[in-house]
A and B are shown apart, each in its own frame.
Chain A
């Protein structure tokens, strides 16, 4: 099991990682998701041992790896543009790690053949890597990283340069290979589609700290912060003010008043006491990890784009200013800036009313 404890790293005087902690368990694929420059690649390089953290520890099964050099860590790393050895053939690239383990020639050949088959490159062994297409190079890099049976596999944006179809195909292959091999993996990407496809768990990295940690579904449906919601493009983000603290809370926003269920058990307010978190269940107790808001507080809401209904007296109404066809439905943008997916296309300029289900509204505090 890989464990990161409070990793700090700065680059040219600017803090890049500011206390990153987390674990990767056996057989688990964790995606590190974040925008460019968030320090994802640096974190990978620190885990690999290519860079040293200024503070914090990288541990494997409880052992601190600080004194262990890169080549003894047994962590496979797949580089962003593969870093294939241009002077070696495909098979020689794949065999490189095996040779470093001083395996016998016959065994190396067998394992190279097997692994090339696994990545659908049977018969490519003798080719020069410089003659391969992007997708083929990517598979060689994957085969090379996996061949020495690393105890941890790391991927640094490996699909970035590929076209959409190829990317989807390779993502699924990678998913299969990772599942079959049961090697724990860390996958760094800025693309949530890749992250959600591959990851058992997603870590959202923002300004050097992990701001969200959960399954793809948890992270998507409840990003937990305005930044995360916007980065994931998880829905409409609107700022509002709490006007009623009786659950469900009522939040007033420029685009309408919404009910918000933060999972708080209704307890009547006494003598103007503000409902607060009460872990011992006394007072305003949260239910299932819920929380409370005080009246007049500012709250950011995430309004889902999906599952909305056209209705007579909806919470949201507005004039349609744009309609785009998407696989999920028509993306309809209203004059107030909100947009939703609707099964049928309204006319431009038409005023529509929408009903948003309670589950479609989350608070981002």
Chain B
């Protein structure tokens, strides 16, 4: 009797569960991210945009404003397109280099290429100035060599340095997203192409690149959006001759307080981002091709032929030149003291000092906002850790759902990219008017920082995870299930080993984004708990060699912390990873 009863119960529950799951299950993976984005992105954004773009306010927008908007839009497109192309030109060979070759110093070079991504623009500007500025090493060297009177290279304040800085910042996106895809590429597809008579360039064009298309597209769109919304680079390196939408939004919203125009520009920027994201999703869905996933290590080799060696050494030299030279000037400046007598120009007197570092620990002016370096490192690491956890927790279900094409996914996918296209200024103002009263009165919460960072990191996390999750053939899962594994264990036995590497890549993205983020942080951070970039910016806001030196010392600390962080995450022996 009791047996029957239980059976009936079981049937009932299954039926009810089936009904619930039929509509609830596809929604469930999106729940966390949707609530999060809805509350912390779409709601405040809608409120601030409405404030600027309600019908009454819109009347204040005149022809001159529209012309300004169009001019900014055109320049923004122009520089973003050029920057993206250049980034791909450097990034794709670099991705091949890291995914295919073993060579000495590989980890170092890999970390080196990732470091710019998290350096605040003030510091990068200082680095570029030390290298390429009118009195930078290169110019001084050339002047010395050819007995020139003035600096032969003047790149600061030109479009050239904007492009260079964008390449410097964003190459790591290509290296990570495309490199991850390359290392999972089945090498036999390329071998099959060669046995069919394809020479190496044709193998690349007809097989490798088409197979990498989803990841290349993902990287292109992300790089483009980053360049499209560029702010600090334009302001600090390009100078007032150049104005992107984001810079114009800042001027209009913060300096001129023209909220309608700022709102209009924000909306244009958002719609462009949305258009890129939709375009991207469409192309990716159309060209997505599943091939059997491979363990990453099997594709690694050392350079053997002369051509391979030439490629390898050429790329290493190029990357060192592009990444090491501007970066090395920061630690160098952090231990160099200008001679007290800054008299004659010409041979400038230098001395070596550790003062800047020891001064970091001393609150000489007894400031309430003094933050010892360890505390700033601790704050930054704390925010970064929370960002990693939060973006992975929110991103994993979404990436899994996206791995199986569905109508819901196709609709929601482009929306996930939007936070990248929102101006930090606009969103910051949105936070102010949204989270300043109960029940959402947390505009003063220190946790707003990791939340803002998660908004930016989430698209990267999802883009890193999704290709790996999509590459898992269903039959692998079915095989595991047929061997008696529960869905939970199926995930750990099948999905996890394959996506573990992609997860690391996603974690590194979230980590570096959080460590380096400045724009949003400066608007929401509590002054008692500043991040490293905020601490650096504070030093650079006052005159004096000691302030400059301490900023460089703090920037060096940031670089070291970030480098160690990336190395640790990459070295992390995730259970099951790499044994696939």
Direct interface between A and B, CB < 8 A:
yes
| Residue of A50, A73, A74, A101 with most chain B CB atoms under a 10 A cut-off | A50
Determine whether B341 belongs to the interface, using a CB cutoff of 8 Å to chain A. Answer: no
Q: Once bound together, how far apart are the Cα atoms of A77 and B193, in whole Å? A: 10
Give B308 Cβ to nearest chain A Cβ, in Å: 13
CB <8 Å contact, B186 and A83 = yes
Q: Once bound together, how far apart are the Cα atoms of A100 and B198, in whole Å? A: 6
CB <8 Å contact, B289 and A130 = yes
CB <8 Å contact, A148 and B196 = yes
Q: Would you give the 0/1 interface string for B277-294, flagging 1 where the beta carbon is closer than 8 Å to chain A?
A: 000000000010111100
Determine whether A97 belongs to the interface, using a CB cutoff of 8 Å to chain B. Answer: yes
Q: Looking at the complex, which one of B186, B194, B211 makes contact with A71 (CB distance below 8 Å)?
A: B194
Contacts of A83 in B (CB 8 A): 186, 188-189, 191-192
| Residue of A48, A69, A96 with most chain B CB atoms under a 10 A cut-off | A96
Which of under 10, 10 to 19, 20 to 34, or 35 or more describes the interface residues of B? Answer: 20 to 34
Given A83-B189, A87-B210, are A71 and B198 also a contact pair (CB < 8 Å)? Answer: yes
B210 and chain A: residue at smallest CB distance: A87
CB <8 Å contact, B197 and A85 = no
Q: Once bound together, how far apart are the Cα atoms of A101 and B188, in whole Å? A: 20
Looking at chain B's contact residues, the main secondary structure is: helix
CB <8 Å contact, B194 and A148 = no
Contacts of B195 in A (CB 8 A): 48, 50, 70-71, 73, 75-77, 145
Determine whether A79 belongs to the interface, using a CB cutoff of 8 Å to chain B. Answer: yes
CB <8 Å contact, B207 and A100 = no
Q: Once bound together, how far apart are the Cα atoms of A130 and B192, in whole Å? A: 17
Given A71-B199, A96-B206, are A87 and B194 also a contact pair (CB < 8 Å)? Answer: no
CB <8 Å contact, A50 and B197 = no
A45 and chain B: residue at smallest CB distance: B191
Q: Once bound together, how far apart are the Cα atoms of A81 and B294, in whole Å? A: 13
CB <8 Å contact, A87 and B287 = yes
CB <8 Å contact, A71 and B197 = yes
Determine whether A329 belongs to the interface, using a CB cutoff of 8 Å to chain B. Answer: no
Given A79-B192, A100-B202, are A87 and B197 also a contact pair (CB < 8 Å)? Answer: no
Give A123 Cβ to nearest chain B Cβ, in Å: 22
A88 and chain B: residue at smallest CB distance: B210
Q: Would you give the 0/1 interface string for B538-561, flagging 1 where the beta carbon is closer than 8 Å to chain A?
A: 000000000000000000000000
Which of under 10, 10 to 19, 20 to 34, or 35 or more describes the interface residues of A? Answer: 20 to 34
Determine whether A86 belongs to the interface, using a CB cutoff of 8 Å to chain B. Answer: yes
Q: Once bound together, how far apart are the Cα atoms of A85 and B191, in whole Å? A: 11
Determine whether A144 belongs to the interface, using a CB cutoff of 8 Å to chain B. Answer: yes
CB <8 Å contact, B289 and A96 = no
Q: Once bound together, how far apart are the Cα atoms of A83 and B188, in whole Å? A: 6
Q: Looking at the complex, which one of A49, A79, A86, A99 makes contact with B211 (CB distance below 8 Å)?
A: A86
CB <8 Å contact, A87 and B193 = no
B209 and chain A: residue at smallest CB distance: A87
Contacts of B186 in A (CB 8 A): 83
Give A92 Cβ to nearest chain B Cβ, in Å: 10
CB <8 Å contact, B188 and A85 = no
CB <8 Å contact, A79 and B194 = no
Give B306 Cβ to nearest chain A Cβ, in Å: 13
CB <8 Å contact, B193 and A86 = no
CB <8 Å contact, A76 and B196 = yes
CB <8 Å contact, B197 and A74 = yes
Please provide the chain A residues from 67 to 114 with a CB less than 8 Å away from any CB of chain B in the complex.
69-77, 79, 81, 83, 85-87, 96-97, 99-101
Contacts of A73 in B (CB 8 A): 195
Q: Once bound together, how far apart are the Cα atoms of A352 and B191, in whole Å? A: 58
CB <8 Å contact, B198 and A87 = no
Q: Would you give the 0/1 interface string for B363-383, flagging 1 where the beta carbon is closer than 8 Å to chain A?
A: 000000000000000000000
Q: Once bound together, how far apart are the Cα atoms of A363 and B207, in whole Å? A: 53
Give A26 Cβ to nearest chain B Cβ, in Å: 20
Give A183 Cβ to nearest chain B Cβ, in Å: 14
CB <8 Å contact, B197 and A148 = yes
A82 and chain B: residue at smallest CB distance: B192
Contacts of B199 in A (CB 8 A): 69, 71
CB <8 Å contact, A100 and B197 = yes
Q: Would you give the 0/1 interface string for A39-74, flagging 1 where the beta carbon is closer than 8 Å to chain B?
A: 000000000111000000000000000000111111
Contacts of B291 in A (CB 8 A): 86
Given A71-B198, A81-B292, are A96 and B191 also a contact pair (CB < 8 Å)? Answer: no
Please provide the chain A residues from 134 to 161 with a CB less than 8 Å away from any CB of chain B in the complex.
144-145, 148
CB <8 Å contact, B289 and A77 = no
B305 and chain A: residue at smallest CB distance: A69
A80 and chain B: residue at smallest CB distance: B188
Contacts of A75 in B (CB 8 A): 195
Q: Once bound together, how far apart are the Cα atoms of A49 and B191, in whole Å? A: 10
Q: Would you give the 0/1 interface string for B199-214, flagging 1 where the beta carbon is closer than 8 Å to chain A?
A: 1101100110011010
Q: Once bound together, how far apart are the Cα atoms of A83 and B186, in whole Å? A: 8
A101 and chain B: residue at smallest CB distance: B197
Contacts of A101 in B (CB 8 A): 197
| Residue of A49, A85, A101, A148 with most chain B CB atoms under a 10 A cut-off | A85
Give A137 Cβ to nearest chain B Cβ, in Å: 12
Give A121 Cβ to nearest chain B Cβ, in Å: 18
CB <8 Å contact, A87 and B211 = yes
Give B103 Cβ to nearest chain A Cβ, in Å: 20
| Residue of B194, B202, B291 with most chain A CB atoms under a 10 A cut-off | B194
CB <8 Å contact, A130 and B197 = no
Contacts of A71 in B (CB 8 A): 194-200, 203
Q: Once bound together, how far apart are the Cα atoms of A99 and B207, in whole Å? A: 13
Given A97-B196, A97-B197, A100-B202, are A79 and B289 also a contact pair (CB < 8 Å)? Answer: no
Q: Looking at the complex, which one of B192, B206, B207 makes contact with A77 (CB distance below 8 Å)?
A: B192
Q: Once bound together, how far apart are the Cα atoms of A83 and B189, in whole Å? A: 5
Contacts of B202 in A (CB 8 A): 100
Q: Once bound together, how far apart are the Cα atoms of A69 and B202, in whole Å? A: 14
Contacts of B192 in A (CB 8 A): 77, 79, 83, 85, 144
A129 and chain B: residue at smallest CB distance: B289
B190 and chain A: residue at smallest CB distance: A83
Please provide the chain B residues from 187 to 243 with a CB less than 8 Å away from any CB of chain A in the complex.
188-189, 191-200, 202-203, 206-207, 210-211, 213
Q: Once bound together, how far apart are the Cα atoms of A183 and B194, in whole Å? A: 19
Q: Once bound together, how far apart are the Cα atoms of A86 and B211, in whole Å? A: 8
Give A79 Cβ to nearest chain B Cβ, in Å: 5
Given A50-B191, A77-B192, are A86 and B198 also a contact pair (CB < 8 Å)? Answer: no
| Residue of A69, A70, A99 with most chain B CB atoms under a 10 A cut-off | A70
B212 and chain A: residue at smallest CB distance: A87
Contacts of B210 in A (CB 8 A): 87
CB <8 Å contact, A96 and B198 = yes
Q: Once bound together, how far apart are the Cα atoms of A69 and B210, in whole Å? A: 23
Q: Once bound together, how far apart are the Cα atoms of A74 and B198, in whole Å? A: 10
CB <8 Å contact, A85 and B198 = no
Q: Once bound together, how far apart are the Cα atoms of A97 and B290, in whole Å? A: 22
B292 and chain A: residue at smallest CB distance: A81
B214 and chain A: residue at smallest CB distance: A87
Contacts of B292 in A (CB 8 A): 81
CB <8 Å contact, B290 and A130 = yes
Q: Once bound together, how far apart are the Cα atoms of A85 and B205, in whole Å? A: 13
Give A135 Cβ to nearest chain B Cβ, in Å: 16
Sample of 5 further A-B pairs with CB below 8 A, known A71-B196, A148-B197: A69-B199, A86-B189, A96-B206, A100-B196, A100-B198
The 6 closest A-B pairs by CB, nearest first: A97-B196, A100-B197, A86-B289, A70-B194, A83-B188, A77-B195
B residues at A contact (CB < 8 Å): 186, 188-189, 191-200, 202-203, 206-207, 210-211, 213, 287, 289-292
20 contacts between A and B (CB under 8 A): A48-B191, A48-B195, A71-B198, A71-B199, A74-B197, A76-B195, A77-B195, A79-B188, A85-B207, A86-B211, A86-B289, A87-B210, A87-B211, A87-B289, A96-B198, A96-B206, A99-B206, A100-B198, A144-B196, A145-B195
